[in-house]
A and B are shown apart, each in its own frame.
Chain A
Amino acid sequence: MHRTGELSGQFQTLEQQKESATLGMWLFLSTEILFFGGLFLTYTINRHTYADVFSYSSRTIKLSWGAINTVVLIGSSLTMAMSVWSAEVGKKKLVTFFLIATLVLGGVFLGIKGIEYHDKFVEHHVPGLGFDMYYCTKNPGACNLRPEDLQKERVELDELTKKMGGETAVNANSQLFFSLYFGMTGLHALHMIIGAGLLLWLIKQSMAGRFTTQYNTPVENVGLYWHFVDIVWIYLFPLLYLIDRH
């Protein structure tokens, strides 16, 4: 990567140099689209095949955390976009400020994700680790659920068990949902962690005053990556959290 914003020999103009960087970043992102696309495809086929169990499993995830995280992540996209603007107009202190704000919001997102994962561990909803969809209803008090929610869960679970013809079928199919839930949100979280690393790298350079109106390609390209990760969440949220909430 051209680190100073000077024109490298293979380009005719700075504009061309910058465009090739943007083009390359989008090329990388198109491979990422297909990478996540495979998971979304697997999800679609399984959700179609095991519609009732997916619907029930989805409702055991707390909607409020997912909704808050959507707001947090879109907010971090706004601060990321603002840091790109700050770099483009040469407001050096604002670049650092907005990069730090993006990092903080990313951290809040991961923190909330951690709370959600913790809940799922407590509820025995983690595939392979003593997975049991009936754990909460069989051990009242073990899960952090309100009595009315627990009662609702019991009624819905009884109905689902009858429909599926036994607890084994419910547990087998809901493990599929939670494997996809942890696989997809986990891969998304991994992308966020990598993004946080990139932000730290940008903040260090930004504090040294490296980004100018002439040279801001790293901010722009990390921005593209960050927004892409935001888009993945924009699809994950309705698909994982919002199945049949009525």
Chain B
Amino acid sequence: MSEHIVSPKIYILIFAALMILTITTVYAATVDLNAHFAGLNVIVALLIATCKAVLVILFFMHAYYSSKRTKLIVFAGFFWLAIMLSLTLGDYGSRSWDVH
């Protein structure tokens, strides 16, 4: 079989990167970034979370080494999530009525 075996070295490196990103996100939450730009705290938190998720998907879940067909399914899952989020939030954001 031509299946790719990911080595423990890579797993440990990814784990270390995830730990560093966890510390970074906790630290970033204690700094008032919103003072510079409204909503910057949550943007930074989500960017860090997305970096972590991408590392997990590509390496722990082997998406990086999988076939194009599997990659397409992985992409499709998140693409449909993006459709749901963007259309719903776009709808909420552009309505004249006040939800408050």
With A34-B81, A77-B60, A85-B5 known to touch, is A19 a contact of B70 (CB < 8 Å)?
Answer: yes
In whole angstroms, how far apart are the Cα atoms of A214 and B41 in the complex? 47
User: Pick the contact of B45 from A23, A82, A89, A238 — CB < 8 Å?
Assistant: A238
In whole angstroms, how far apart are the Cα atoms of A237 and B19 in the complex? 14
User: Pick the contact of B26 from A67, A81, A239 — CB < 8 Å?
Assistant: A67
Residue from A77, A231, A238, A243 having most chain B Cβ neighbours under 10 A: A238
User: Pick the contact of B85 from A37, A67, A71 — CB < 8 Å?
Assistant: A37
Does chain B have a CB within 8 A of A172? no
Total A-B contacts with CB atoms under 8 angstroms apart = 133
Does chain B have a CB within 8 A of A123? no
Residues B11 and A78 in contact, CB atoms below 8 Å apart: yes
Taking CB atoms, residues of chain A closer than 8 Å to B26 are: 63, 67, 242
Residues B70 and A23 in contact, CB atoms below 8 Å apart: yes
Residues B18 and A30 in contact, CB atoms below 8 Å apart: no
Of all chain A residues, the one with the shortest Cβ separation from B46 is A238
In whole angstroms, how far apart are the Cα atoms of A19 and B72 in the complex? 13
Of all chain A residues, the one with the shortest Cβ separation from B22 is A70
Residues B69 and A23 in contact, CB atoms below 8 Å apart: yes
Residues A244 and B41 in contact, CB atoms below 8 Å apart: yes
User: Pick the contact of B22 from A34, A71, A77 — CB < 8 Å?
Assistant: A71
User: Pick the contact of B5 from A14, A38, A49, A89 — CB < 8 Å?
Assistant: A89
In whole angstroms, how far apart are the Cα atoms of A49 and B93 in the complex? 11
Taking CB atoms, residues of chain B closer than 8 Å to A146 are: none
Residues B53 and A88 in contact, CB atoms below 8 Å apart: no
Residues A231 and B57 in contact, CB atoms below 8 Å apart: yes
Residues A234 and B89 in contact, CB atoms below 8 Å apart: no
Residues A234 and B52 in contact, CB atoms below 8 Å apart: yes
Residues B12 and A78 in contact, CB atoms below 8 Å apart: yes
Of all chain A residues, the one with the shortest Cβ separation from B78 is A33
In whole angstroms, how far apart are the Cα atoms of A88 and B77 in the complex? 27
B84 shortest CB reach to chain A, Å: 6
Residue from A34, A85, A234, A235 having most chain B Cβ neighbours under 10 A: A234
Residues A18 and B70 in contact, CB atoms below 8 Å apart: no
Residues B32 and A239 in contact, CB atoms below 8 Å apart: no
Taking CB atoms, residues of chain A closer than 8 Å to B92 are: 45
Residues A41 and B84 in contact, CB atoms below 8 Å apart: yes
In whole angstroms, how far apart are the Cα atoms of A216 and B5 in the complex? 12
Residues B15 and A22 in contact, CB atoms below 8 Å apart: no
In order of increasing CB-CB distance, the 5 nearest A-B pairs are A30-B77, A242-B29, A238-B45, A246-B32, A245-B29
Can you offer 26 A-B residue contacts whose CB atoms are under 8 A? A15-B3, A19-B67, A23-B69, A30-B73, A30-B74, A34-B77, A34-B80, A34-B81, A37-B85, A45-B88, A77-B60, A78-B15, A85-B5, A85-B11, A88-B5, A224-B61, A228-B61, A231-B52, A234-B56, A235-B53, A238-B29, A238-B45, A239-B45, A244-B34, A246-B30, A246-B41
B interface, CB within 8 angstroms of A: 1-3, 5-8, 11-12, 14-15, 18-19, 22, 25-26, 29-32, 34, 41-42, 45-46, 48-49, 52-53, 56-57, 59-61, 66-67, 69-70, 73-74, 76-78, 80-81, 84-85, 88-89, 92, 99-100
